[in-house]
Amino acid sequence: MGEHDDTVNYPSLRTRAIESLLVEKGILASDAVDRVVSTYEEDIGPLNGARVVARAWSDGEYKTRLLENATGAIAELGISGMQGENMVALENTSEVHNVVVCTLCSCYPWPVLGLPPYWYKSPEYRARVVVEPRAVLEELGLELDDSQELRVWDSSADIRYMVLPERPAGTDDLSEEELTELVTRDSMIGVARAGTS
Amino acid sequence: MGEHDDTVNYPSLRTRAIESLLVEKGILASDAVDRVVSTYEEDIGPLNGARVVARAWSDGEYKTRLLENATGAIAELGISGMQGENMVALENTSEVHNVVVCTLCSCYPWPVLGLPPYWYKSPEYRARVVVEPRAVLEELGLELDDSQELRVWDSSADIRYMVLPERPAGTDDLSEEELTELVTRDSMIGVARAGTS
Amino acid sequence: MARAHDIGGLKGLGRVEMEQDEPVFHSEWERRVFGITMATLGKGLFNIEQFRSGVEEIPIVPYLESSYYERWIATLERNLIRAGVVSEDEIDARTTELSHRPETEVGRREEPEFCEMLLGAIHGGMSPERELDAPKGFEIGDRVVASGTEVLTHTRLPRYVRGKTGVVVRLDKAFVFPESNAAGDGENPEWCYCVRFEAEDVWGPNAENAAPVYVDVWESYLVAA
Amino acid sequence: MARAHDIGGLKGLGRVEMEQDEPVFHSEWERRVFGITMATLGKGLFNIEQFRSGVEEIPIVPYLESSYYERWIATLERNLIRAGVVSEDEIDARTTELSHRPETEVGRREEPEFCEMLLGAIHGGMSPERELDAPKGFEIGDRVVASGTEVLTHTRLPRYVRGKTGVVVRLDKAFVFPESNAAGDGENPEWCYCVRFEAEDVWGPNAENAAPVYVDVWESYLVAA
C-alpha cells in the first residue's frame, strides 16, 4: 500500500471534517493528536520487543522472570504502556509453537510491538488462523514439525501476548545487541521464526 | 427490478457459455430447459395456494384435512410436485400468527406458491425475521396484536410450509372462487393478511 | 456461521425490500440458469445438497452482494466441473468468445423423453423421504438439545440454534441426510423432527421483540436435554 | 456471529497478504484518525468498549470491505454523536464544504496539560484491572463450558467457543466487564481466566489441521462442566 496522497478522498475529507469541528468546539487538542501519532511512528515499535527477547535469550534468570511475570520483566527494560498493562509471554520451543491473534478486533501488545500490521487486523488472518492455523502459517512461509503442538492464543480479553521465539542455532557468540537484530516483529506474533526475514 | 435487456452482461455471457457447452457435449436438453422455465412462469404459481386456502375457508372438513395432512389435502385439488412433497399448513388465528422463512437458502413450497420472490431469498429477510420478526413484519406493513403469539418457521429440512391466513371479516357471502382472489402470495408466507394488497 | 449462508440472526442488515408485481425471472439469463440447473440436476450430474453446498462455498462478501441467480451460476459451474463434464477453462474461453461475438446463438438439442420425465418429476415430486427401519429416537414433547458440534462443510442445522434447547413438536418422516449426500457418501436417511425453540433460549435475555422459532432437524443433530 | 466482527472460523476468506516494509500509517488521514481517537478516548467522551461496539455495528459487507481505519472513522463518528459533541449533519456539511475547498486548513488548538497527561497514560498504561473482593469461581484445571447464551450487543466471548468445553489454564486479574461498560452500565469487574479448548471440541471431528485455542474469558461467561 505505502503512503497515499489522498487529501480529497472520502475518508480523508471525513476525518478532516471531524477534526476541524472538534477543534472549533474546543474539544480536541491538536498537539495531543500530533504527539500520539509521532509516539507510535517514532518511539514505540517492535524494537522494544526485540530487546526483551534478546535479553531473555542472553539471561536465563531474566527469561524465567519474563515467563512468570511478563509485565514486570518488560518493565525492567523501561518498557510499559497502554495495551501492555497485562502482558503474558509465550515461549516457543521444539515441542510447542505459539501464535497470537485477536479474532474480535485488533488487540495487540503496543508497548513491545507498536501498532499492529495490516494483515494482523485483516478478516483473513482473524477468521482463518483459529481454524486452520497450520495452513495459514505455511502460506506465510512458516512450516512447523507435525510433532510440534501449535497453540493459538486469541486476545479476547485484557491480556496482551508476545511470543518468545526460539533462539536461532549458531548464535552462541552474538552479543545481546546483535541478537536484537534477529528478532522480527513477526517472530514475536508467532508467524515467523527469529533470524529469518 | 423488472426485466433487463442484458445479453452482454457477465452473468448472461457466463450462462450462455455454460448452456452452449453443455448442448455441444450432448448433456443438456434445450427443450427441458424451455419447458421447466415456462412451467414456473405460466403454470405453477400462488393461484394454486389461493385455491387451497379458499377451499379451506369454505369447507371445514377440508380445512381439518389440510391441517392434519397438508400434502394429501393439497393433492385433492390436483396440486403436487417438486418442493411440495411434504407439506405442512400453518393456521393463522387471532391467537397465533405464523411466518415462514428459509434462513439457510430459499426453500419454499413451489407447487402452491411458485418460485419465491426476491425478498424471501434476500439476506435481509433471512437474517432478520428469525431474530426480530415483529420489526420485520411491521416494516412490511403487518402489525400484530401484542397478544398474538408470533411463530417463525425455518424451512431447514424437507418440510415445506404454507400459511393458512385468517379469513377476512365480511366475506361470508363470497363464493370459493371469489375468496381465491383475496388470497395473496404474501399472506401464505405470513408477511401479510389475506384480503390486503 | 462457518459458511457464508448461515446468517439467521446476523445483525446490521437493512430493510427487507419488496418489489411490486415482481416477475418470476428478471432476465433471460435467470430463466436459463434455472432451467439448466433443473435439467442437469434431473440428469443426476449432482444432487441438491451438492448444489446448495456449492452456493455456501461462495465467500461471504460476494455471497451477500451477488444476486440470487448469480449464486446459482457459481454453484452450477462448480458442480458441472466436479462432475467432470466441463472445465473452468472451457467456460472461461467460451465466455470470452461470446463477449466478442454477442450475437452468437446458443445451440439447441432436444431430448423429448428426458423432457417428459423431468416435467413428470416437477409435477409429481421427488420426495427425499426414505424407508427407515430404525425406531424414532424422540417423541413429541421431548426436550432436546441441538448439536453444538461445528460442521465446516454442508450442514442444515442453523447456527443460531446450535447448542440450544427446545421441544419436539412434530414427528416427520425419514429424509436423506444432507451432510452425507453432499459429501457423496450416500443418503443415510434419518428421522426428522420439528423442534420449537423459545425466543429467550435462542437469543438470550436481551432478545427484544423475538418469537419462538420452529426448526426442522435431523435426528443426529439432537440429543435428549 | 450476531455482529459482523465475530468472524473466528468463518470459511471462504482468502490468503493473508503481508505488506513488505509496511509503514505504521498508510496516509495522513489514518494518522489523524488514530490520534483523534486516542485524544477523545483520553477526554472520556467514550470508553474503549463503546469504541469497539461502534465498529461491530457496521453491517458485515462494509465491515469486511472497508479498511481498518475506515472502520475507526465510523465508530469515532458514532461515539462522538452519541456523546453529544457533534451531530451527523454537522459532519456531513463540513465534509461537503471541504470537498469543495480541499485546500482549507484544519484549525488547531493546544492543550499542553492534557497532552502530557495523555502521553503519560500511553507510556504508563491504563489497566482495566480492578479490585474485586469476590473469590475466584474457578481454579486451574477446572473444566468449564463457555456460555451459549446469545448476546446481540457488545460481547467479548467469540462465537466459535460458545457452548464449547475447555480447561482453565491461567488465572488472571479482575478486569472491567466489557458488556456492561459498553452499555454505559458501569464497569462491574469480573475475574478473568485463560481457557484452553481442544481443536476437536471447537471445530468438530472434521477439523483438519486445527490446533488448541486459548481464549481469555470473563467469569460470567463460564459455568463448570
What is the count of structural domains for chain C?
Answer: 2
**Residue segments in chain A with a per-residue pLDDT below the cut of 50:** 1-2
* Chain C closest-CA separation from residue B169 CA (Å): 25
**Residue D113 above 90 pLDDT?**
yes
Q: What is the DSSP string of A84-127?
A: -SSEEEEE--SSEEEEEE-SSS----HHHH-SPPHHHHSHHHHH
**D220 and D134 together in one domain:** yes
| Fold of the domain built from segment(s) A45-189 | Nitrile Hydratase; Chain A (3.90.330)
**C101 and C159 together in one domain:** no
**Residue B1 above 50 pLDDT?**
no
Using alpha carbons, list the distances in angstroms from residue D108 to A15, A16, C150, D105: 14, 12, 53, 9
The CATH number of the domain holding residue D149 is 2.30.30.50
Domain assignment of residue D5, yes or no:
no
Q: From the list D9, D34, D112, which residue is nearest A31 (CB)?
A: D112
**Residue D89 above 60 pLDDT?**
yes
Q: Which residues of B participate in catalysis according to the annotation?
A: 102, 105-107
H or E stretch including A149?
strand A149-154
Closest of D176, D154, D211, D190 to residue D4, by C-alpha: D154
**What are residue C106's phi and psi, to 5 degrees?**
-75, 135
The band of D207, judged by pLDDT with boundaries at 50, 70 and 90, is confident
Contact assessment for residue D117 and residue D89, using Cβ atoms and an 8 Å cutoff: no
Closest of C201, C158, C148 to residue C178, by C-alpha: C158
Q: What is the pLDDT of residues C101-137, one digit of tens each?
A: 989 999 999 999 999 999 999 999 999 999 999 999 9
The CATH number of the domain holding residue C109 is 1.10.472.20
Using alpha carbons, list the distances in angstroms from residue C83 to B142, C40, C153, C184: 46, 10, 19, 11
Question: What's the domain range around C40?
Answer: 28-124
Instruction: Determine the average pLDDT of the residues in C176-201.
Output: 96
The one catalytic residue among A30, A38, A105, A122: A105
pLDDT of amino acid B2: 44
For an interface test with D, which of A13, A102, A130, A151 has the most D Cβ atoms less than 10 Å from its Cβ?
A: A130
Contact assessment for residue D71 and residue C12, using Cβ atoms and an 8 Å cutoff: no
| Chosen domain end from D89, D109, D124 | D124
**D77 and D136 together in one domain:** no
Instruction: Determine the average pLDDT of the residues in C201-205.
Output: 90
Q: What is the pLDDT of residues C54-84, one digit of tens each?
A: 999 999 999 999 999 999 999 999 999 999 9
pLDDT of amino acid A1: 41
How are beta strands D222-224 and D143-146 bridged, if at all?
antiparallel
Residue count of chain A = 197
CB atoms within 10 A of CB D184: 11
Crossing angle (nearest 10°) for helices B30-38 and C28-42 = 120
Crossing angle (nearest 10°) for helices D112-124 and A30-38 = 30
**D103 and D173 together in one domain:** no
The band of D76, judged by pLDDT with boundaries at 50, 70 and 90, is very high
B36 at interface of C, judged by CB pairs closer than 8 A: yes
**Residue B28 above 80 pLDDT?**
yes
H or E stretch including C222?
strand C222-224
Residue C15 burial by Cβ neighbours in a 10 Å radius (0-12, 13-18, 19+) = middle
* Dihedral sign (CA A139, A140, A143, A146): negative
**Residue C209 above 80 pLDDT?**
no
Q: To the nearest whole number, what is the mean pLDDT of chain D?
A: 95
**D100 and D134 together in one domain:** no
CA B142 remoteness from chain centre: 17
- Give the chains touching D; criterion: ≥3 Cβ pairs < 8 Å: A, C
Q: What is the pLDDT of residues C4-45, one digit of tens each?
A: 999 999 999 999 999 999 999 999 999 999 999 999 999 999
Is residue A197 annotated as a catalytic residue, yes or no?
A: no
Closest of A26, C11, A18 to residue D77, by C-alpha: A18
Domain residue ranges of chain A, discontinuous segments joined by +: 8-44, 45-189
**C143 and C210 together in one domain:** yes
Q: To the nearest whole number, what is the mean pLDDT of chain B?
A: 95
**What are residue C193's phi and psi, to 5 degrees?**
-140, 150
Contact assessment for residue B77 and residue B52, using Cβ atoms and an 8 Å cutoff: yes
CB atoms within 10 A of CB A53: 29
Cα–Cα distance, C198 to C203 (Å, whole number): 9
**C141 and C55 together in one domain:** no
Cα–Cα distance, A42 to A19 (Å, whole number): 22
Contact assessment for residue A168 and residue A193, using Cβ atoms and an 8 Å cutoff: yes
On chain D, the residues whose CB falls within 8 A of the CB of A106 are 68
Helix intervals (H) in chain D:
28-42, 48-56, 60-65, 68-82, 88-100, 112-124, 178-182, 199-203
Question: Which residues sit opposite A97 in a β-bridge?
Answer: A150
Domain assignment of residue C9, yes or no:
no
Q: What is the DSSP string of B49-93?
A: HHHHHHHHHH-HHHHHHHHH-HHHHHHHTT---TT-SSEEEEE--
Domain assignment of residue D19, yes or no:
no
pLDDT of amino acid D86: 98
Domain assignment of residue D9, yes or no:
no
Q: From the list C67, C119, C214, which residue is nearest B152 (CB)?
A: C214
- Residue A11 C-alpha cell reads as 475518508
pLDDT of amino acid A176: 97
- State the ipTM, two decimals: 0.92
Cα–Cα distance, B140 to C66 (Å, whole number): 23
Which residue type is seen at B6? D
| Chosen domain end from D124, D148, D166 | D124
Cα–Cα distance, D99 to A15 (Å, whole number): 12
For an interface test with B, which of C70, C114, C123 has the most B Cβ atoms less than 10 Å from its Cβ?
A: C123
Closest of B60, B109, B100, B153 to residue C170, by C-alpha: B153
Is the pTM above the cut of 0.90?
A: yes
Search chain D and give the residue with CA nearest C207.
D152
D3 and C12: CB-CB below 8 Å?
yes
| Chosen domain end from D124, D146, D165 | D124
- Residue A129 C-alpha cell reads as 488462523
Helix intervals (H) in C66-209:
68-82, 88-100, 112-124, 178-182, 199-203
**D190 and D176 together in one domain:** yes
How are beta strands A160-164 and A87-91 bridged, if at all?
parallel
Q: From the list C5, C64, C122, which residue is nearest B81 (CB)?
A: C122
Domain assignment of residue D4, yes or no:
no
pLDDT of amino acid B6: 59
Is residue A80 annotated as a catalytic residue, yes or no?
A: no
What does DSSP assign to residue D129?
B
Domain assignment of residue C201, yes or no:
yes
How are beta strands B160-164 and C143-146 bridged, if at all?
unpaired
- Taking the C-alpha atoms of A22, A24, A28 and A33 in order, what is their torsion angle to the nearest 10 degrees? 90
CB atoms within 10 A of CB B13: 20
Q: What share of chain A is helix, strand, coil (3-state, %, to 5)?
A: 45, 10, 45
Q: What 3 state SS string does C85-127 have? A: CCCHHHHHHHHHHHHHCCCCCCCCCCCHHHHHHHHHHHHHCCC
- Do A and B make contact, counting contact as 3+ CB pairs within 8 angstroms? no
- Residue D141 C-alpha cell reads as 484445571
Contact assessment for residue D178 and residue D147, using Cβ atoms and an 8 Å cutoff: no
**C139 and C109 together in one domain:** no
Domain assignment of residue D7, yes or no:
no
A84 at interface of D, judged by CB pairs closer than 8 A: yes
Contact assessment for residue C148 and residue D164, using Cβ atoms and an 8 Å cutoff: yes
Crossing angle (nearest 10°) for helices A30-38 and A10-24 = 130
Q: What is the pLDDT of residues B140-193, one digit of tens each?
A: 999 999 889 999 999 999 999 999 999 999 999 999 999 999 999 999 999 999
Q: What is the pLDDT of residues C37-54, one digit of tens each?
A: 999 999 999 999 999 999
**C82 and C41 together in one domain:** yes
